[in-house]
Chains A and B, each alone.
Chain A
Amino acid sequence: KQEVTQIPAALSVPEGENLVLNCSFTDSAIYNLQWFRQDPGKGLTSLLLIQSSQREQTSGRLNASLDKSSGRSTLYIAASQPGDSATYLCATAGSARQLTFGSGTQLTVLP
């Protein structure tokens, strides 16, 4: 059974800092890995999707990497802003495209 772990559970940084969120998973036989953003009481917004054959994806200030052999992914956020404050969820997709989620990292960017 796939297990996804995110560390740290919470992170607080001053505005402008670059930061890295970590995600690890136990089963490397994944179809893809996705990073989502969740604002309080809201749904999930897809940020980046990395197919199993890819090593990284970039979108604006966000860069996500995938290392299947070590069971790790990182989400890099450059020049953080208060609007980046949210919970960030990592999820791996199995053969049926069903997702297994980590518990998330709650990010607070202080002005």
Chain B
Amino acid sequence: DADVTQTPRNRITKTGKRIMLECSQTKGHDRMYWYRQDPGLGLQLIYYSFDVKDINKGEISDGYSVSRQAQAKFSLSLESAIPNQTALYFCATSDILGGQFFGPGTRLTVL
């Protein structure tokens, strides 16, 4: 079984809808991250969390919110989706040495 899982894997939605992307991990890591990747570009950090009580904004947090329900679960929400949020979204965890482990990604299309 994969160490970092994301659901759904693909999602098509309409402008203005609220969307939640979920991430679960079995690696036992405290640190979790959400990144966004646009076509032909690298990944950009949206939010990160050190533990359930410590959540921090990344470089592109506007329009997004997160919830750390437990050490193993970190969810990303788009409160009112817009077309330029169409992208590939990745969840990741980090070990104490800073190595990061990525989920398979969620492809989101906002029409």
- B-contacting residues of A (Cβ < 8 Å)? 1, 4, 31-32, 34, 36, 41-44, 46, 49, 51, 89, 91, 93, 96-104
Contact = CB atoms under 8 A, between A and B. Distances in A.
B45 A99 contact: yes
Contacts of B50: 96
Most chain B C-beta atoms within 10 Å of own C-beta, residue among A93, A98, A104: A98
Contact of B105 (A1, A43, A93, A104): A43
Contacts of B100: 34, 46, 91, 93, 97, 99
A42 B94 CA distance: 19
Contacts of A100: 45
A84 to B, nearest CB: 19
B99 A46 contact: yes
A43 B48 contact: no
Interface of B: 31, 33, 35, 40-45, 48, 50, 56, 58-59, 90, 92, 94, 97-105, 107
A104 B102 contact: no
B64 to A, nearest CB: 15
Contact of A97 (B31, B58, B90): B31
Residue among A4, A97, A102 facing the most chain B CB atoms (10 A cut-off): A97
Contact of A4 (B33, B35, B42, B97): B42
A42 to B, nearest CB: 7
Contact of A101 (B31, B40, B43): B43
Closest 8 CB pairs of A and B: A101-B42, A44-B102, A97-B94, A97-B98, A43-B104, A101-B43, A32-B98, A93-B98
A28 B94 CA distance: 21
A8 to B, nearest CB: 14
A70 B94 CA distance: 26
B97 A99 contact: no
A50 to B, nearest CB: 10
